[in-house]
Chains A and B, each alone.
Chain A
Amino acid sequence: MPDRVGEAKEIKFRDPELAAALGRNLTALVDEIGRSPISLMHVCGSHEQAIAKYGLRANFPKALDVIMGPGCPVCVTDAPEVDEGVELARQGVHVATFGDMLRVPGTRLSLADAQAEGHKVYVVYSAAQVVKMAKENPGEEYVFYATGFETTAVATAAVLLDEPPPNFSVLSAHKYVPPAMEIVAQNPKSRVEGFLAAGHAAVITGYGIFEPMAKKYGVPIVVTGFEPLDILAGLVELVRLVRDKSPEVFNAYPRCVTREGNLNAQRMMWQVFQPASGMWRGIAEIPDGNLRLRPEFARFDARKKFSIDASVYASDAASELVKSCICGNIMSGLASPPDCTLFRKECDPQHPVGACMVSSEGTCKIWYEYGGRPDLSELKDAV
């Protein structure tokens, strides 16, 4: 193999031998507990992505059920929030957002539909790109349609603290994860015995933020990263805590995460944003689950700067298809994509009925792309 190919193989935390060893540990611990299922939830689309992409689930012990929770910021963006973006675009404002967000259905239209109508909707990779566009065209109004959890919210905050031009503003649909985890833990229908928390969010918040929750609900929480070894090591620790019935917080991502987190980033985030209650699509009204701009940043707040009346869309009745969508149950960890009658039939990534089929962080999209949990065990000896 030439060097440039070899080099890419040496990405850290992907050693298959170590992965196999961790897999054996995991199986031994699950066997030791000796009941089925042991239900664990991760709350991050990137974890589901990694589990599916690396084919980890095919090798999980059968008694271990790793459920995906409300871990996709795009998926939990509520239809009326999408409507606000659509309405702004229809007012002739330039609306820029992340690629994932484009096809997320609003009450009736998505931002992609607004784009197809000829309105100025763009895909960007960062808020900074939108600031650049705004500076280049000072006569036009640019809105960054901001989605993402605290990780992404910090990046938006940084841009707002860096004196953006007056023709730039933000429509914040940012979400804050910790309150949503509590909602899941409180749910009496929940079977979740332990949480795998998202390493990148914890880089900002610190793992200490989970300690009160672990104590209050008696569930262990392990913070981990996104490489195959991170996930396997995180699961081993989590199953160990379940076995020992110890509701602790364990940091399995010490190379990035500290107890207190990135204080500078937290300061920036709370300087710009304040928590607000709001609907997470398909899940529930989450107290303090949304991040909205503070009054000091009103001049950059698209909701204040423009008059957005999206109520015209709200009266649109949901279609029969939308009524059959079980995204909410999937995001709450109560169902899997194949439980949905629309999955792979009426609902696919090109014609998503629910938001989980849109984003690369959405469970349905991930299961669609990676074949979900096909039983490939029969192949083990064949090749």
Chain B
Amino acid sequence: MTDGRVEMRHGGGGRSMRKLIEEVFARGFADVPFDGIGLAAMDDGAAIRVGDRWLVLTTDSHVIHPVFFPGGDIGRLAVAGTCNDLAMMGATEGIALTCAMVIEEGFPLDKLERIQRSMVETCREAGAMIVTGDTKVMGKGELDGIIINTSGIAFAGAPVRDSGLHLGDKLIVTGTMGDHGLAVMAARHNLEIDGGTLVSDVAPLTNMIRAALRAGNGGIVAMKDPTRGGLASSLGEMATKANVGIVIHERDIPVSAAARAAGELIGIDPLQVANEGKAVIGVRAEVVDAVLAALREHPLGRDAAIVGEAVAERPGSVILDTGYGRRLLVESDGEPLPRIC
């Protein structure tokens, strides 16, 4: 850590953040002393065995500027984000959420009501309930509008880790990449991009993932939601944790025309920015078609595609086959900036 201070990149979801967690937060906490998944796994959540089922627990604080963005708002993001972290661990049943709000003095009540309605709607889509909460108000200028923390619990038949890839496993993405990150970036920097609607994909994946798990019949071996850092970061983590190489084929990766145009224009790779309604799923080759079919049946998964596979070469690396050649797909660290020409 430079100069002993936290920098913006330590919240970016990439290498710097993992380093901060490992070197500062996780220090002194032993791994869970019982059968389960704890902090050391650095997964999307924790899991504790309860009888023949697993209770999965996760938490997420949501800050976003602007609070209302094309395709969603901070309320939808807060509910979907936590439901998706649970779903990525295989936990889709009996979802209960907490909601803690920290609000800036002067925040308009009508906006708060709009956020609340959005949370109700998103909970309904996910089959989730908010069961308890907390409210704090801070002085003007002490935070930027509103922070929402949601924690969630849900049951999984068997937890899915993000480290479960083996050689030969296939990788599926459940839809177009980069929409959320590029939509928010365009809104934040007032970039006027013609040619299509660039909207966030923020959505709870619970129902779609439940269907995929059922179709996979134990053959889904790893899942992540490619939020901050995008697909590049998620695949990098999956490759590192499983100690396999991953080859993905760029031309098979779905990217919406609007996101591609925006990405080309401002020089930001849609594979390196956040999604809030997508999953990347590692699947045993023998069930990949069944899982893909189940995903495509769901409205959120209609663009799902097989994009790559786990290989023995270059363990820990992600190789992008562009159709013209190959290169490494490296996760970005910190927030990408729009470029000049």
Contact = CB atoms under 8 A, between A and B. Distances in A.
Given A46-B341, A350-B16, A379-B314, A5 B303 contact: yes
Interface string B175-199: 0100000000000011100000000
Interface in B315-341: 317, 319-330, 332-334, 337-341
A192 to B, nearest CB: 23
B328 A99 contact: no
Interface of B: 2, 7, 9, 16, 176, 189-191, 245, 247, 251, 254-257, 260, 266-267, 269, 302-303, 305, 309, 311-314, 317, 319-330, 332-334, 337-341
Contacts of A73: 340-341
A94 to B, nearest CB: 15
Contacts of B339: 98-100, 359-361
Contacts of A98: 338-340
Contacts of A100: 337, 339-340
Interface stretch (A49-57, A159-167, A252-260, A328-336): A49-57
B333 A125 contact: no
A205 interface: no
A101 B340 contact: yes
A349 B334 contact: yes
Interface in A335-375: 348-351, 359-361, 368-371, 374
A153 to B, nearest CB: 11
A228 interface: yes
Contact of B333 (A1, A149, A350, A359): A350
B173 to A, nearest CB: 11
Given A5-B254, A125-B338, A379 B247 contact: yes
A371 B327 CA distance: 7
A383 B168 CA distance: 10
Contact of B341 (A11, A200, A374): A200
A41 to B, nearest CB: 19
Given A54-B327, A100-B339, A360-B267, 12 more contacts: A4-B176, A8-B255, A8-B256, A54-B323, A54-B325, A125-B338, A149-B341, A349-B332, A349-B334, A361-B339, A370-B327, A374-B314
Contact of A5 (B191, B256, B340): B256
Contacts of B257: 4-5, 7-8
A56 B337 contact: no
A360 B336 CA distance: 10
A53 B322 contact: yes
A221 interface: no
Contacts of B341: 46, 73, 148-149, 151-152, 200, 361
14 contacts: A1-B254, A2-B302, A55-B325, A98-B338, A98-B340, A200-B341, A350-B333, A361-B339, A368-B330, A369-B332, A370-B330, A379-B247, A382-B312, A383-B321
Interface in A1-48: 1-2, 4-5, 7-9, 11, 14, 16, 19, 46
Contacts of B314: 374, 376, 379
A8 B328 CA distance: 22
Interface in A83-107: 98-102
B176 A58 contact: no
A112 to B, nearest CB: 10
B325 A59 contact: yes
A175 B16 CA distance: 35
Interface in A103-140: 123, 125, 129
Given A1-B305, A2-B302, A361 B255 contact: no
Interface in A289-323: none
Contacts of B330: 368-371
Contacts of B9: 350
B340 A99 contact: yes
B247 A16 contact: no
Contacts of A99: 337-340
A88 to B, nearest CB: 19
A57 B313 contact: no
Contacts of A378: 313
Interface centre among B255, B321, B324, B333 (most CB of A within 10 A): B324
A147 interface: yes
B302 to A, nearest CB: 7
Contacts of A5: 176, 254-257, 303
A76 interface: no
Contacts of A64: none
B324 A55 contact: yes
A74 interface: yes
B338 A53 contact: no
B340 A361 contact: yes
Nearest to B312: A382
B337 A125 contact: no
